[in-house]
A and B are shown apart, each in its own frame.
Chain A
Amino acid sequence: MAIEFRKNLALFRDVVSVEEAEPLLEWLQKKPAGRVDLADCTHLHAANLQVLMAACASVKAWPKDPFFADWLRAALLRPH
């Protein structure tokens, strides 16, 4: 698993694949205030992105790759 779920924080690492979208969604459903740490994430499958967007998840740390971070900021910081 490329996502490690802690108490109120989901840590994303490397490439997060499509299979992890479902557990991520379940976690966010249980913990609406949960935050995500994307610092060590290099890519996440669109399904995960979709879940993060739907949940308006708050981001604790953005990816190190600035281009990737820009993408995510544009997707997640936009008011829905």
Chain B
Amino acid sequence: MTPLLEQFLSEARDFLQGIGEKLMQLEKAPADAELMTELFRFVHTLKGNSGLFDFPEMTRVLHAGEDLMDAVRQGRVAYSQELADRLLDAMDFIGMLCDEIELNGAIGSAYAAESARLGASLRQLISVPGTAVEGVPLAVPSSTEQPIPTPAALPPLETLPEVVRMAAFRLAHEGEPLHWLTYTPEEGCFFSGDDPFFQARQTPGVLWGGVVAREAWPKLLEVDAYRCILDFHLLTTASRADLDEYYRYMPEQIRRVAIPALALVQPQGDPNGGPVYEDFVVEALDTLGRGDNGSLAHAARTMLELSNPDLWLASALRWLLLLLELEPDNHAAQGVVIESLRNLETIDWLAVTAMAPSVEDEPCTAAETRMSPVEMSPEEMSPEEQASLAALVATQRAILGLPIEAAWQMGRVRAVISTLSGCLRACQREDEIAGLEAASAAALDDASAAPLLDWLDRHFSTESVAPAPAAPEHKATEAAPVVVLPAEDTKSAGEGEGDVKFGRRAEDAFSGPKSLKVEQAKIDLLMNLIGEIVVAKNALPYLAGRAETVFGVRELSREIKAQYAVINRIAEEMQDAIMQVRMMPVSFVFQRFPRLVRDISRKLGKEVKLVLEGEETEADKNIIESLGDPLVHIVRNSLDHGFELPEVRRAAGKPSEGTLTIRATQESDRVVIEIQDDGKGIDPEVVKRKAYEKGLIDETTLERLSDQEAVNLVFAAGFSTAEVISDLSGRGVGMDVVRTAIEKVNGAIALDSEKGRGTRIRLSLPLSMAVTNVMIIESDGQIFGLPMDNVVETVRVARTDIRTIKRSMATVLRGRIVPLKSLNKLLGLATPPIANDQDELAVLVVRLGEESVGLLVDDFRETVDIILKPMTGVLAGLGCYSGSALMGDGSVLMVLNVKELM
């Protein structure tokens, strides 16, 4: 994948996210023009981006979306929920395409149909407002007939106005390709929102365009306005590639034929009684035979002056003169034009020459004898460059023709001067720059753009400039005042490669972007490195100890300790800084909820208002990511089982719209997420009965359970209160899965609920999981780590104080019975725990939910900060370990997962 594609995908996802959010917001404020504009811009920019790649399936949908949003923005189409739904569907599809691209680097052909469907469904909203038709007419390509390779005939060029053909003829001699394009849109295209006329008008390089009906028009009363039977014919200077590009979504609807320049040469006009010019023809052919172009041109001009310009004769003479000018050596062609005066028939160039228009071959450029390009362009310039130059110059001419009404518009004139000066240098006509500067100065003196326009006329003649068809038509208004232009500007622009540029530009500081997007892997690497520093630094106290005890150098030991303090501080700050980088706002998870709540509640026929609070609260990326699935589950659960239907709510005296609040707050080093609904709450009696029926609790427990304890039974494995498992809250997956997921990242979950009033679930998670404070313990000659979060206390209990009740051990600590478990036994080791000299056993009291349990170990050691690395590979399956860490002396510490262990 190229960096550009990566950039595209990453930005595309941002935009999709943004589009979703804006749509949600619009739902609340459908008249917000600013939101609408932003939404349009998102879709528009995303479409622009997709256009950089060859993803027509994606671009098609986005284009439709853009047009739709444009229509909405301009008030042509009203915003509606239907519209939001379709747009969201379309964006989901785009998201899917992004995934596909990421996976395969391209979009499979399988998506084309869906793309067409979605595009059409969006366009339908633009074209037929209010009449949503099921079964959108699809843009089914008409039977893909291959274009006939070499048609026998040229298109009916003689029907084009002579001026157009003459202009085209000149362009062909300047190296422009000429194409005749027939565009046959589908009959149903209006329904898919297409405007073939617009498509045709915007064709690049159009010189002339005509529209004809494919069939005879029926009586006016029987005309179907929405069945397209129009064909478009165009003469264009666009290259084959440009045309294919422009019509790439409808290749089967166009046929393009390269036009040889000579085919344009067709006299037309009033035949005026027939061929009466025999004398002239004979004489002209005679002159032609002698190769005397000068005399022939003279004779033709004289004859032309004497003739009515509307006559066929006059037209033929004009062509003859043009041929003499542009193809002076092509006597054959000149002869054919003269001969045509005899019979006044359309010249059949196919019969006269061997030339044939070709559909597939590269366009034949102009004629065999190519006139040397117009004065301005040196031979080295490619036809594309010449065309661009011509278009650029034409544009500057048009800009100069604009009226100058405000002071800033002088800057526009100066930019034109820079541009013209650039063009001169580009075609190595530096010697003319002085003239341009003089004209610029004159323009300033006269306070008029006229000197510059004059200069243009002299140096870039209009004929040599392509009549850029798409260029705006500006009427040169009355001499507009040009504001004074500092002379040095034009000079510096004119000096080009001169020495000025360094003085002016060398010191320009390059300012880069202010924020960076960094790959996750790079942050992870930093994290690992800081982990190693923490570990390496931990070796220093050992070293200090050895310096004193082994080598007896107290001074050195003290210095090492001092250094350690410094390194320790830096390491901690660094660690902190890296953690900061990893911090993400919870909005990352929250942002999916507006859509989720909207979709689900609508599907269930419930009315739910979502309130998000504290979205800016931050936590470590891993924590945030691990929050996603449990939160979705909780929210779905609440929508599914918590909220009542509107009528039920009203009957209960509640507002018909329920409120779901998701609130994030930071409490010291933990982030707390509360999900609260004002639904029907959980009935402890129902929960108890279910739990009993499912065998999760026995009869005695049933009696004894408090309401709060009963409610917490929903977290028990295999519990599900719903009578029917809906397709929304998952299939048989209960809250126990949520609890497990939260506990996996050292989080806690609590639930309280009041029947009829609602339910509140509280998740509490560490801000960061990067550094864990663990206690090191010894057992069976090995060391293990235990997260300090779990540790309640460490005590030594005399063997005599340990009671064995049935087969389990327990002791009494501060008046409470604490069950005891041997770590060795839990780990499957046979060795019994070792007592100390006083026959006391080491008991590590750990928290297990609401209970405390004593772990019998051999000995306690110090507590350390470690970077916990999750177990990977086969070890990941060992639930009793939550991870491992590297120690200062290079050994590996296995960190126990207390909950799994029990």
A contact set with B: CB distance below 8 Å: 17-19, 21-22, 24-25, 28-29, 32, 43-47, 49-51, 53-55, 65-68, 70-71, 74-75, 78, 80
Contact = CB atoms under 8 A, between A and B. Distances in A.
Given A47-B225, A49-B230, A51-B223, 12 more contacts: A18-B190, A21-B226, A24-B225, A25-B220, A29-B221, A45-B197, A47-B226, A50-B223, A71-B201, A74-B208, A75-B210, A78-B212
Contact of B220 (A28, A44, A70): A28
A74 B223 CA distance: 21
B202 to A, nearest CB: 10
Contacts of B217: 53-54, 80
B666 interface: no
B127 A80 contact: no
B163 to A, nearest CB: 10
Nearest to B221: A29
Interface string B631-660: 000000000000000000000000000000
Contacts of A21: 225-226
B755 interface: no
A8 to B, nearest CB: 16
Contacts of A75: 210-212
A44 to B, nearest CB: 7
A18 B198 contact: no
A47 B193 CA distance: 11
B228 A19 contact: no
B473 interface: yes
Interface string B211-227: 11100111011010110
Contacts of A45: 190, 195, 197-198
Contact of B211 (A17, A25, A49): A49
B185 interface: yes
Contacts of A70: 208-209
Nearest to B129: A19
B196 interface: yes
Given A47-B226, A67-B469, A67-B473, A19 B220 contact: no
Contact of B76 (A17, A46, A49, A71): A17
A66 B226 CA distance: 27
Interface in B61-102: 76
A46 B196 contact: yes
Interface in B156-198: 185, 190, 193, 195-198
A45 B226 CA distance: 11
Contacts of A28: 220
B220 A55 contact: yes
A25 B225 contact: yes
Given A53-B213, A74-B209, A75-B211, A46 B220 contact: no
A27 to B, nearest CB: 11
15 contacts: A17-B76, A18-B190, A18-B193, A22-B225, A43-B197, A43-B201, A45-B197, A46-B185, A46-B196, A46-B230, A47-B190, A50-B223, A53-B230, A68-B201, A80-B213
Nearest to A44: B197
Nearest to B470: A67
Nearest to A55: B220
A44 B228 CA distance: 14
Contact of A19 (B127, B208, B230): B127
A45 B201 CA distance: 11
B229 interface: yes
Contacts of A29: 220-221
Contact of A50 (B128, B198, B230): B230
B226 A32 contact: no
A37 to B, nearest CB: 19
B240 to A, nearest CB: 23
Contacts of A74: 208-211
A17 B210 CA distance: 20
Nearest to B128: A19
A4 to B, nearest CB: 17
A65 B128 contact: no
Nearest to B225: A21
Contacts of B129: 19
A60 to B, nearest CB: 19
Q: Which 4 pairs across A and B sit closest by C-beta, in order of nearness?
A: A75-B211, A46-B197, A21-B225, A74-B210
Contacts of B185: 46
A56 B216 CA distance: 12
B473 A50 contact: no
